[in-house]
Structure 1
């Protein structure tokens, strides 16, 4: 796999340590710089001071869930950074709803690394 995503700066918003570990490991293997926020509120705080190329957003988290965080990112922070939703339960929150609040992609967990790569690649080069 080519390293065309190398040197991107990605914010991973995920509350489960094992999911953080797996995603960070995959992203690091692609030479992507990753910062982790354990919930939506911490993500908002990071986004107030750091620019990221892409956000990977878990949907269900304590403190501030991914849907609410995305609404704040789009409506209050006015950021257009691409956001890919990551969810373990595809039945509760649909892809269409995620797109309607400003998410740009949608993946169910556990995800296939090559599918994540393709989604990230298409979003990065669509928005650059």
Structure 2
């Protein structure tokens, strides 16, 4: 039996947490939620994940800081795919996300199909 994809959602918005939770459940993915980057780093040290969905704007430690920390201070997680998610329109956020170490970037709101395509691309190649 295959182990389901384990996703860490780093997101402080409860509405979006529920949307991604429903998405994960409908596709048979496991999901854990961290409300900010600091909690995400703690969860990474406690459990194995295959993928991180990282919001950009959060209290305490935002998505850029958390991604930078994961990429530069946690060598055991160098290869974990990170998809940055934000509601910002400006292209600089996509550029900054990729420069910080994210593998890809999605702008909210996005379609479920777009998220699934990104996950498949990153997990399968």
What residue is the counterpart of 1:65 in the other structure?
A: 62
Gaps of 5+ in 2: none
TM-score (norm 2): 0.92
Q: How does 1:108-123 map to 2 (within 5 A)?
A: 108-123=107-122
2:80 counterpart of 1:44:
no
2:42 counterpart of 1:54:
no
RMSD: 1.3
Moved segments of 4+, more than 3 Å = none
Matched pairs, number: 121
TM-score (norm 1): 0.90
Q: Deviations over 1:49-106 (max 9, x none)?
A: 2121000000000010000000010000121200000101131742122111110010
Gaps of 5+ in 1: 1-5
Per the alignment, in what secondary structure is the counterpart of residue 48 of structure 1? helix
Q: Distance in 1 between matches of 2:72 and 2:46?
A: 17
Q: Distance in 2 between matches of 1:41 and 1:122?
A: 27
2:69 counterpart of 1:97:
no
